[in-house]
Amino acid sequence: MQFTSPVTLQTIAEMIGAEVIGDKHALARGINELHKVQEYDLCFVDHPKYYDTCLNSAATHIIINTKDVTVPAGKNLLYVDDPFEAYLAIVKHYRPFTPAVKPVNDSAIIGSGTVVMPNVFIGKDVVIGDNCIIYPNVSIMDYTQIGNNVVIQAGSVIGSDAFYYNTKKNRDVWYKRMQSCGNVIIEDDVEIGAGCTIDRGVTASTFIGRGTKMDNMVHIGHDTHVGRNCLFAAQVGIAGACVIEDGVTLWGQVGVSKTLTIGENAVVLAQSGVPSTLKGGKTYFGYPAEDASVKRRELVWVKRIPEMWEKLKKM
């Protein structure tokens, strides 16, 4: 999330009760989680396992719960007891929750020729381009950006909160939601089936590239980047922070794990599971998804095991 204008670290420190270690007059341009952080951003870290990763990331300003670290040149620390609570305080201040009071927010911008059918909800600061069709019972949540010639079938939800939690087992509630302050960006000529769900980014954007088509009941997790001209059949599920490159086809009920990449023009056959990165230009099948021709040969040999076992017993 980028702030509407840069904010001094002194201002942030006063808001969250932090001690600034470095230049208190330095400017922060936004706050992002580790996967999406950029230069001049704030980022938070609250576990020793991730101290070095965060300190050496693109973030210029780090909210942290220790002073016992080596600070790289050009970086500033904001020391607090609980960086996660500090993150929540900043997000709630700069992007506060405001309950809806009408089906279509007054701030929404809807292009010419766009059809919005009954019972559609459109949230705050949503932009919808020209010649779109939004079918009944679609929910388009705050800050979503939709291009031209987009079709969204009935009952889909665009921009719901990320399934993303801060986990600590020394408190009564182990999983505490990371407040989502990102959005969804959908480019031109995208078609989204009925009952689909696309989560907003935690602090940045979930992105759907131009010309991509989705069947019914497809789920796209937070911060995932889907390229152009992809094709997703029914019940595909993609976890958070994935990169699906241009021209990828995922057939029915394919499951994709988090933070991986599927290369350009790859095809994953129905009911396969993708636990790790796949190269482009190949067809994959099974769990774990592997080259489909290899997997088929494996299945042939598996079917022959009983026959081979009987032969072995007779030897």
CA-CA-CA-CA torsion sign (61, 67, 72, 76) = positive
Give the closest residue to 236 by CA, choosing from 219, 260, 212.
Answer: 219
Do 237 and 196 form a contact (C-beta atoms < 8 A)?
A: no
Q: Which amino acid is at 86?
A: A
User: What is the rounded CA–CA span in Å between residue 129 and residue 109?
Assistant: 8
CA-CA-CA-CA torsion sign (8, 11, 16, 22) = positive
H-only helix segments in the chain: 9-16, 51-55, 83-94, 292-303, 305-314
CA distances from 116 to 12, 133, 134, 142, 183 (A): 41, 6, 5, 16, 20
Q: What is the DSSP letter of 200?
A: P
User: What is the rounded CA–CA span in Å between residue 293 and residue 298?
Assistant: 9
User: What is the rounded CA–CA span in Å between residue 94 and residue 100?
Assistant: 18
Residue 133 pairs with which residues in a beta bridge?
A: 115, 151
Paired sense of beta strands 255-256 and 237-238, if any: parallel
Q: Which of 61, 219, 222, 225 is catalytic?
A: 222
Residue 19 pairs with which residues in a beta bridge?
A: 79
CA-CA-CA-CA torsion sign (141, 43, 240, 244) = positive
**CA dihedral of residues 64, 70, 76, 81 (deg, nearest 10):** 20
Q: What is the DSSP letter of 26?
A: P
Is 222 an active-site residue? yes
The residues that are catalytic are 222
